Amino acid sequence: MMRQMREATKPIMIVTAAAFVALMVFQWGMDISGRTSGGVGQIGTVNGEAVTYDAYMVAYRSLYEQAQQSQAEPLTSQQNKELEDAAFDEVVNQLLIRQELERRGITVSDDEITEAAQYAPPPEIRPQFTDSLGNFDFQAYQALLAQLPQDQLLLLEAYYRDAVPRGKLLRQVSSGIYLSDAELWQRWRDQTEAVQIEYLSLDPATRYQDADVPVEQSEVEAYYRDHQDEFEMPARATVKAVVLDKTPTAADTAAALERVRRVRQEILDGGDFAAIATRESSDSVSASAGGSLGTFSKGMMVAAFDSAVFAARVGQIGEPVRTSFGWHVFEVQERWATDSVRARHILIPVERTDSSEIHLLTLADSLEEMAISLSLDEAAAALGLSTTMADITSGFPFLPGAGQIGEGADWALEEAAPGEVSPVFESPQAFYALEVVSSEPAGVVPLAEAAPAIESQLRFEKKLEKAKKEGGEIAGRIKGGESPASVATALGLEARPAGPFTRNDFVPGMGRQNAAIGAAFALQPGQVSDAVATPTGVFIIEVVGRIDADSLAWAAQKNEQRQGMMSLLQQQRLQEWIVALRAAAKIVDQRDQVLRPASDTVAIPLY
């Protein structure tokens, strides 16, 4: 065992260090307050405490990588905006938790850190010391701890100095949560108890003719009068739009590639990689460290970059690699076995060149100036542009090509009259101008428009009542001795089998967790239900088989079940508590002022 440990120590230490750093900086929020941060500065505040750019970028990169791994195609600009907001929220939450720890005076002693390090390894480390049966080898883990150098022990201490107080806070926040044996048994029974049935179903929509179910106008009017909230509609506008996409052009892409080649050649000609990275790289975090990405294991970086790095030789200046972030010039500085490297890179984003940017801005200015005296169609035609039609509502202010357009939507819905042309607005994805074709203020759908839907709904409800009555008669015949199959044949119905299924399963033809499913579990084999109505139809059910929940199996796993459910309830309580903290906090988001004017390249989520 010790020989194997010695052989594996170095790569394990590398992975351990990477995991500790990730946990400290992101998951546990180390350095979020900016007390030791040296990035581009403050992008917001939480109760007067700074939200730093560096902490925001670490959170953003982690979320970006998770999202990109979940889909094959590149993330859209709208998805990217959502990730930016989620990253900011994550950093805010970590700051609020830290402030609450200080307010409550929750701390950790050296003895607590020592005990936690020895007997409560971080979740990311446990798999390395867990066998196929789930047994954790504490002897091997503690042997690793004994061999860690001082700098790694300091990282480990920092992790526990942050994690242990947060565990105490979680216990305080989630105190009072209790799960009785009755609750646990009910959940177990819902998951394991099963029935097998045959059933007849009456579909009101198809079984009865509309002509046989009249709906009076007075009924429609009464429903409309009593359910006004169902017919409320947001303000809306139909607009013409011209969208000037900010996406780099083919010429911009070519210019970026040419710049990459110049940078790489400068290094090959003897230029200092670190100095060039500081000067050229758009990854501001690594650029400040001479392009260093530190040590990372296989699979941590985006796929194309990861493949190129792990295929390259130590000391080699690799061929430029294109990812969704731009072009990378890289060098592998050190390698351990086949799954860990130390590397550095220079990121050249594919972005608009100065001339391309000037051309776009000039086009936007020209559009705005011409639209003062011309219609949007005329201004667009004069500039060689095209217009599109779009519908905008106060609840969904979205314009294809421009994304969320809050500013433009406010103008179209609150200020402009039909025929007016807007100034040129800007979103993160585009410049755009609007012309209002028509608009409607928020209000209520008129009765004349709502009447067909109301009539259809009332007719279905009447058909459902007919189905309930007929279903009651069918159930009576079956309980009186007729077989479900013979009754079905006589009435043009079909006796269908289903199951075995549990209370939580979806049953084709019946649905999920409705009155019909509940009725099936209230019966014993051979029993027939009354007519059971759901929102979509009426069912008559006969149970033909049943699998009861195993109480002995439940008792054997009860402790694990309780632990799992308690963990879920604790997380739910924690989320509710964080929501309450945010509601009471003073949160200032300065990203628009600090980041937007620069360019989208301030966010380079490489890993």
SS (H, E, C) 496-520: EEEEEECCCCEECCCEECCHHHHHH
Per-residue model confidence (pLDDT) at position 38: 40
Domain membership flag for residue 416? yes
Both 480 and 433 in one domain: the answer is no
pLDDT at residue 190 tops 90: yes
Q: Is the pLDDT of residue 410 over 50?
A: yes
Name the region of 29 (left: φ>0; alpha: ψ -120 to 50; beta: rest): left
Quote the pLDDT of residue 282.
87
252-285 b/e (C-beta count within 10 Å ≥ 16 → b): bbebbeebbeebbebbeeeeebeebbbebbbbbb
Beta carbons of 459 and 213 less than 8 angstroms apart: yes
Residues 417, 477 within the same domain:
no
List the one residue out of 55, 54, 46 whose CA is nearest residue 98. 46
**323, 348, 373 — which closes off a domain?**
348
Whether 184 maps to a domain, the answer reads no
> What tokens appear for 221 in the block?
């009017």
pLDDT at 454 over 60: yes
CATH number at residue 543: 3.10.50
Helix H or strand E encompassing 444: strand 443-444
Strand, helix or coil for residue 390: strand
Domain boundary among 547, 570, 587: 547
Give the rounded percent of residues in the chain with a pLDDT score beyond 90: 52
pLDDT 10s digits, 353-388: 889 989 999 999 999 999 999 999 999 999 999 999
- Residue where a domain stops, chosen among 332, 348, 364: 348
For range 451-475, the mean pLDDT: 95
Same domain, 105 and 158: yes
- Are 55 and 135 contained in the same domain? yes
Instruction: Confirm if 177 and 529 have CB atoms less than 8 A apart.
Output: no
Position 560 confidence tier, pLDDT thresholds 50, 70, 90: very high
Q: Per-residue pLDDT for 132 more than 80?
A: no
> What pLDDT sits at residue 151?
78
- On whether the pTM is more than 0.75, the answer is no
pLDDT for residue 603: 38
464 and 585 within one domain: no
Mean pLDDT (the chain, rounded): 85
- Decide if 54 is inside a domain: yes
pLDDT band at 574 (very low <50, low <70, confident <90, very high): confident
Same domain membership, residue 403 and residue 499: no
* Window from 28-32, 555-559, 583-587 with minimum mean pLDDT: 28-32
Write the Ramachandran bin of 346: left for phi over 0, alpha for psi from -120 to 50, otherwise beta.
Answer: beta
Name the most confidently modeled range: 127-131, 285-289, 404-408, 447-451: 447-451
Which CATH number does the domain housing residue 168 bear?
1.10.4030
**Digit-coded pLDDT (tens) for 499-531:** 899 999 999 999 999 999 999 999 999 999 999
Rounded Cα gap, residues 98 and 390, in angstroms: 46
Q: Is residue 557 part of a domain?
A: no
Structural domain for 404, as ranges: 235-247+354-441
User: Structurally, how many domains does the chain consist of?
Assistant: 4
Q: What is the pLDDT of residue 45?
A: 93
**Whole-angstrom Cα Rg for the chain:** 32
Output the pLDDT for position 76.
67
Cα–Cα distance measured from residue 343 to residue 417, given in angstroms and rounded to the nearest whole number:
58
pLDDT average, residue stretch 332-351: 86
Please check whether residues 524 and 492 belong to one and the same domain: yes
Residue 352 has pLDDT above 90, yes or no: no
243 and 392 assigned to the same domain: yes
The CATH number that applies at residue 265 is 3.10.50.40
Q: What is the pLDDT of residue 199?
A: 95
- Do 164 and 31 share a domain, yes or no? yes
Do 62 and 114 fall within a single domain?
yes
Contacts of 244 (CB under 8 A, 6+ apart): 360, 363, 364, 367, 385, 424, 430, 431, 432
The reply to whether 516 and 580 lie within a common domain is: no
Using a 10 angstrom Cβ sphere, with 0-12 exposed, 13-18 middle and 19 or more buried, the burial of residue 546 is: middle
Residue 286 confidence (pLDDT) above 90? no
Q: Residues 6 or more apart from 443 whose CB is under 8 A from it?
A: 232, 233
- For the cut 60, the answer to whether the pLDDT of residue 262 exceeds it is yes
* Model pLDDT for residues 211-227, shown as the tens digit of each residue: 999 999 999 999 999 99
* Alpha carbons 157 and 572: distance in angstroms, whole number: 28
